Amino acid sequence: MKTTQLIILIIMSLSPSIHSLAQKNANYDENKVREYQLPDVLTLQNGNKITNTRDWEKKRRPEILSLFEQEVYGRIPNAKLQPFSSKVIEESDEALNNTALRKQIAITFKKDDKEITINVLVYLPKNVENPPIFIGYNFYGNQSIIADENVILTRAWIDNNAEFGIDNHQANDASRGKRANRWPVEKILAQGFGLATIYYGDVDPDKNDFSDGIQSFFYKKGQTAPADNEWGAIAAWSWGLSRVMDYFKNDQSFNDSKYILMGHSRLGKAALWAGATDERFDIVISNDSGCGGAALSRRNYGETVAAINQSFPYWFANNFEKYNLNETNLPVDQHMLIALIAPRPVYIASAESDQWADPKGEYLSGHYAGIVYSLYGKTGLPSPTPPSVNQPVHNDMGYHIRTGIHDVTDYDWEQYMVFSKKHLM
Ligand code: GTR
Instruction: Express each pLDDT in 170-183 by its tens digit.
Output: 999 999 999 999 99
Q: Is 99 a member of any domain?
A: no
Please state at what angle helix 266-277 crosses helix 233-250, rounded to 10 degrees: 60
Among candidate residues 19, 169, 406, 423, the one labeled active-site is 406
Q: pLDDT tens-digit profile of 88-122?
A: 999 999 999 999 999 999 999 999 999 999 999 99
Measured CA to CA, the distance from residue 170 to residue 168 in angstroms comes to 5
Rounded to 5 degrees, what are φ and ψ at 110?
-130, 145
Q: Is 133 a member of any domain?
A: no
Q: What is the mean pLDDT of residues 47-71?
A: 98
Q: Is 306 a member of any domain?
A: yes
Q: Is 188 a member of any domain?
A: no
Q: What is the mean pLDDT of residues 21-35?
A: 97
Kindly write down the DSSP assignment for every residue of 16-42, as one continuous string: HHHHHHHHHHS---GGGPPP--PPPTT
pTM of the model: 0.96
Q: Give the SS3 label for residue 194.
A: strand
Residues of the chain above pLDDT 90, percent: 94
Q: What are the beta bridge partners of residue 85?
A: 108
pLDDT of residue 255: 78
Q: Is 238 a member of any domain?
A: no
Measured CA to CA, the distance from residue 90 to residue 143 in angstroms comes to 14
Measured CA to CA, the distance from residue 203 to residue 78 in angstroms comes to 18
Q: pLDDT tens-digit profile of 335-394?
A: 999 999 999 999 999 999 999 999 999 999 999 999 999 999 999 999 999 999 999 999
CB of residue 304 inside a 6 A radius of ligand 1 = no
Q: Which residues of 190-220 are buried (b: 16+ CB within 10 A; e: fewer)?
A: ebbbbbbbbbbbbbbbbebbbeebbbbbbbe
419 C-alpha to center of ligand 1: Å?
25
CB of residue 264 inside a 6 A radius of ligand 1 = no
pLDDT of residue 13: 57
* Length of the chain as a residue count: 425
Which H/E stretch holds residue 15? helix 3-25
Q: Among 372, 422, 374, 413, which Cα is nearest to 394's?
A: 422
**Strands 114-125, 100-111: pairing kind:** antiparallel
Q: pLDDT tens-digit profile of 237-257?
A: 999 999 999 999 999 988 789
Q: Is 394 a catalytic residue?
A: no
Please, what is the average pLDDT of the chain?
A: 96
**Domain range enclosing 59:** 1-73+258-425
Q: Is 189 a member of any domain?
A: no
Query: Residue 119: how many CA atoms within 13 Å on its side-chain side?
Result: 18
Measured CA to CA, the distance from residue 129 to residue 107 in angstroms comes to 25
CB of residue 291 inside a 6 A radius of ligand 1 = yes
pLDDT of residue 80: 85
Measured CA to CA, the distance from residue 16 to residue 249 in angstroms comes to 40
Which CATH number does the domain housing residue 373 bear? 3.40.50.1820
Q: What are the beta bridge partners of residue 121?
A: 104, 197
Q: Is 325 a member of any domain?
A: yes
- Identity of the residue numbered 2: K
Q: Is 156 a member of any domain?
A: no
The total number of structural domains in the chain stands at: 1
pLDDT of residue 12: 54
Ligand 1 probe mutation, 288, 356, 362, most atoms within 8 A of CB: 356
pLDDT of residue 1: 45
CB of residue 290 inside a 6 A radius of ligand 1 = yes
Instruction: Indicate whether 406 pLDDT > 80.
Output: yes
Q: What is the mean pLDDT of residues 387-404?
A: 98
